[in-house]
DNA sequence: ATACTATCGTTTCATAGCTAACGATTCTAA
DNA sequence: TTAGAATCGTTAGCTATGAAACGATAGTAT
């Protein structure tokens, strides 16, 4: 342990806490740092060329796979709020990558669908995205990749994420 | 495998890609989903009370631990851009949680430091934050927590995140 | 000394992202 | 049928976020 880490722990131990769980801290810290690096790298090195953010990309991916999806479900799938979906689909619509339509059976509902242009973008972009994905994960062996996915999946499930 | 997953794979397999690495996809997907859930939960259930975002909190934490830090290093540590640090410290300054000062030896440099009020906030907030951290990680055994941290650390290191 | 370069942090400008509030629609109960 | 509740998506208003450009300062080479 580095001396500065020791100092940090001493500071934290003075607080009114039952205990200081260093393993839990490491889990949270590493998860977030990894995700941050992942997102930044993808946005800078893959998505920037298409003017898409990580979330825009993930929404466009959902539309590509699912064809036509309720706004509400897009929010759930991407893990962001409904207003964010409104904003992003608006941006995607301006770029003519998707369009919106209203359900006539229940006029409260709005569906979002991908355009041919959007499909073209994804067909071009996805292979590049996946290539990076593979590169990033390849620091680990296949067995380790399965292991880390499994553990994260358990965390996601137990915490309802 | 679910039928819709099968369909998805069929769609992806039609693209001009050398191969489709499902393990890599699972790694990336689960990392990001976990981080998203983590951040949302913390912001809504712990940080909202103090009007802090995840990044604001992590910056204030750095200041708390390190006392006085260059803007540049804050950006590195939090994994965000320099303008973001500028904005966030400006917000924190408005709330009187931190203040800025210039280095007189090298007047290009700016340091940020935590105020007494900021220290008070952290002393109150950190135990609550840590409690949640522990709860979230407790879906896994200690051995599993160490395992997932280790694997993520390897990914972070190899990818320079 | 004087340009040229590098390094800071900030400003500008656009999108992303949240909560809260809203308007429209549908459902439900009296 | 009609008032009240529930459920959509959007709007309003704020902070967060990054790329690009900028102004100020410091280092470097001639």
pLDDT reported for residue B19: 86
| CA–CA separation, A143 and A13 (whole Å) | 37
Does the structure show a pLDDT above 90 at A117?
yes
What is the band of A5 on the pLDDT scale with cuts at 50, 70, 90?
Answer: confident
Where is A25: in which H helix or E strand? Answer: helix A22-42
Phi first, then psi: what are they for A90, rounded to 5°?
Answer: -65, -45
Asked if residue A50 belongs to a domain, the reply is yes
Cβ A44 to strand D below 7 Å:
yes
Does the structure show a pLDDT above 90 at A32?
yes
What's the domain count of chain B? 1
| Chain B residues lying within 8 Å of A37, measured CB to CB | 79, 156, 159-161
pLDDT reported for residue B64: 96
A96-113 pLDDT, tens digit per residue, is 999 999 999 999 999 999
Does the structure show a pLDDT above 90 at A147?
yes
Side-chain-side CA neighbours of residue A146 (13 Å)? 3
Contacts of A94 (CB under 8 A, 6+ apart): none
| Chain A residues lying within 8 Å of B144, measured CB to CB | 151, 154
Please indicate whether residue A85 or residue A11 has the higher confidence score (pLDDT): A85
Q: Which residue is nearest to nucleotide D25 (CA to C1')?
A: B108
Asked if residue B48 belongs to a domain, the reply is yes
Asked if residue A21 belongs to a domain, the reply is no
Asked if residue B8 belongs to a domain, the reply is no
| CA–CA separation, B143 and B40 (whole Å) | 26
Q: Does residue B120 sit at the A interface (CB-CB below 8 Å)? A: no
Does the structure show a pLDDT above 80 at A67?
no
Asked if residue B13 belongs to a domain, the reply is no
* Domain enclosing residue A55, as ranges: 44-158
Q: Chunk chain B into consecutive blocks of 10 residues (it has 161) and report each block's average pLDDT, rounded to whole numbers.
A: 86 88 97 98 97 98 90 95 98 97 94 97 97 97 98 97 94
CATH of the domain at A57: 1.10.10.10
Asked if residue B46 belongs to a domain, the reply is yes
| Pairing assessment for the beta strands B98-102 and B110-114 based on DSSP bridges | antiparallel
Cβ A83 to strand C below 7 Å:
yes
Answer whether A59's CB lies under 8 Å from A80's CB: no
Asked if residue A142 belongs to a domain, the reply is yes
Percent of chain A with pLDDT over 70: 100
Contacts of B133 (CB under 8 A, 6+ apart): A21, A24, A25, A27, A28
Asked if residue B123 belongs to a domain, the reply is yes
User: What is the secondary structure of A42-87 as a DSSP string?
Assistant: HIIIIIGGGT--HHHHHHHHHHHHHSEEEHHHHHHHHTS-HHHHHH
């Amino acid at each position: 342990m580095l001396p500065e880490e020791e100092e940090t722990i001493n500071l934290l131990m003075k607080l009114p806490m039952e205990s200081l769980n260093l393993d839990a801290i490491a889990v949270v810290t590493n998860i977030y740092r990894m995700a941050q690096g992942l997102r930044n790298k993808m946005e800078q090195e893959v998505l920037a060329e298409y003017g898409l953010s990580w979330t825009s990309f993930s929404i466009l991916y959902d539309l590509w796979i699912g064809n036509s999806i309720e706004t509400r479900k897009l929010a759930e799938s991407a893990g962001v709020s409904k207003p964010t979906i409104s904003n992003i689909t608006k941006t995607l619509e301006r770029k003519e990558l998707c369009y919106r339509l209203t359900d006539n059976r229940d006029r409260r509902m709005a569906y979002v669908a991908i355009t041919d242009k959007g499909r073209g973008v994804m067909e071009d972009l996805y292979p590049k995205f996946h290539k990076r994905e593979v590169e990033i994960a390849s620091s680990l062996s296949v067995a380790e990749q399965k292991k880390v996915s499994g553990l994260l999946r358990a965390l996601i499930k137990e915490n309802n994420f």
